[in-house]
Amino acid sequence: MQNVPLPVVRPRRLRRNAAIRDLVQETRVVAADLIAPLFVKEGDGPPEPVGSMPGVQRLSVADLVAECRALHGLGVRGVALFPVTPASAKDPAGTEALSPGCLVLRAVRAVKSAVPGLVLFTDIALDPYTSHGHDGILTADGSDVDNDATVGVLAKMAVLHARAGADFVAPSDMMDGRVAAIRAALDAAGRTQTGILAYAAKFASAYYGPFREAVGSARAAGTTALDKRTYQLNPANRREALADALLDESEGADMLMVKPAGPYLDIIRDLREASSLPLAAYQVSGEYAQLHAAAEKGWLDLVKTRDESLLAIKRAGADLILTYFAKDVAKALAEGTVAGR
């Protein structure tokens, strides 16, 4: 038997025990990296569970304020608000979005008053307000979303959110030119300090289903096919995604976002290398739901896969992560029991 030379380089020396592994760990997730998406509903009723998203609830404004206080106390620095608009307030043009007394504006004022140190991100899109569930105003024949008419409404909507106290408006509609229009409208209204978190690479993904249930969209209710591929990105297109994202940067976005996160780690890395702006990634409802579903079957360890999924998003290049796991992870971080600590 021939003598096999022993290795000179032994990478396992850096994995020998927990203390060494902790010293050389390259990527960490901390509470300040996380933004919690929250759903707010009308009325004073108790929280309503979202069936496809265990642990996620639709909250009254009062309960929303309490949740924001709890998140801030755990070190979470930002929340993203999504209103659940009653069906009676929806119409084809989404006119409720421009109502001075609409739900999201009342929620922003309440949270900002109660937790002024929390950074508030608000969704700028019409799908919570339209009866057809699209992210904008439809063309006369109803075959597509009218880009320019929609952009005009979004700019007005952003100004209302800024005046209510939003720190960042987050256009998620994927209309052409909306970042430039929103920046111009904010500046003209004297809201030069209000930032824009652009959904810069938002894909026409199959992972959004549970979110649509949470906000009561048309797709979840089964009333329309809701094909959004004329404005959201083709999941097959990497170069197009990068071009779209960099266009948002050139139009004045302060932060960029990739959505979904887990299936698009390559896009996160591409954009991280192409831009110096803060980069967010949205671990969407379907990503959250699939981990819970597999854990309920006993096929995966929920905590370990949760932590690994967030580390992967951070390792790919995201500075900030929108995740429905934000509160649980922040608690685990405080206890020192999460990966990446």
Q: 215-223, long-range: CB within 8 Å, 24+ apart, which pairs?
A: 215/39, 215/82, 215/83, 215/84, 215/85, 215/127, 215/128, 216/84, 216/85, 216/87, 217/127, 217/128, 217/133, 218/131, 218/132, 218/133, 219/133, 223/133
Give the active site residue among 41, 90, 259, 314: 259
Higher pLDDT, 213 or 145: 145
Query: What would the pLDDT profile of 29-48 be if each residue is shown by its tens digit?
Result: 999 999 999 999 999 999 99
Domains assigned to the chain: 27-335 (3.20.20.70)
Please tell me the predicted confidence (pLDDT) of residue 145.
95
3-state SS, residue 29: coil
What is the mean pLDDT of the segment spanning 86-103? 96
Contacts of 327 (CB under 8 A, 6+ apart): 36, 67, 70, 71, 74, 76
- Give the pLDDT band of residue 27 (cuts 50, 70, 90): very high
Locate all alpha helices (DSSP H) within 75-125, ordered by sequence. Answer: 103-114
Please tell me the predicted confidence (pLDDT) of residue 143.
87
259 is catalytic: yes
CA 121 to chain centroid: 9
Q: Residue 91: is its pLDDT beyond 70?
A: yes
pTM for this model (two decimals) = 0.94
Burial label for 62, CB within 10 Å (0-12, 13-18, 19+), is exposed
Please tell me the predicted confidence (pLDDT) of residue 339.
59
Give the active site residue among 202, 228, 314, 327: 202
Nearest-angstrom CA–CA distance, 312 and 28: 10
322 closest CA partner among 285, 267, 293? 285
Nearest-angstrom CA–CA distance, 81 and 258: 18
Nearest-angstrom CA–CA distance, 334 and 331: 5
Share of the chain above pLDDT 70, in %: 96
Q: Residue 276: is its pLDDT beyond 90?
A: yes
202 is catalytic: yes
Q: Residue 331: is its pLDDT beyond 60?
A: yes
What is the mean pLDDT of the segment spanning 107-134? 97
Nearest-angstrom CA–CA distance, 34 and 322: 6
Higher pLDDT, 219 or 325: 325
Mean pLDDT (the chain) is 94
Share of the chain above pLDDT 90, in %: 90
- Give the pLDDT band of residue 212 (cuts 50, 70, 90): confident
Query: What would the pLDDT profile of 216-268 be if each residue is shown by its tens digit?
Result: 765 544 444 568 999 999 999 999 999 999 999 999 999 999 999 999 999 99
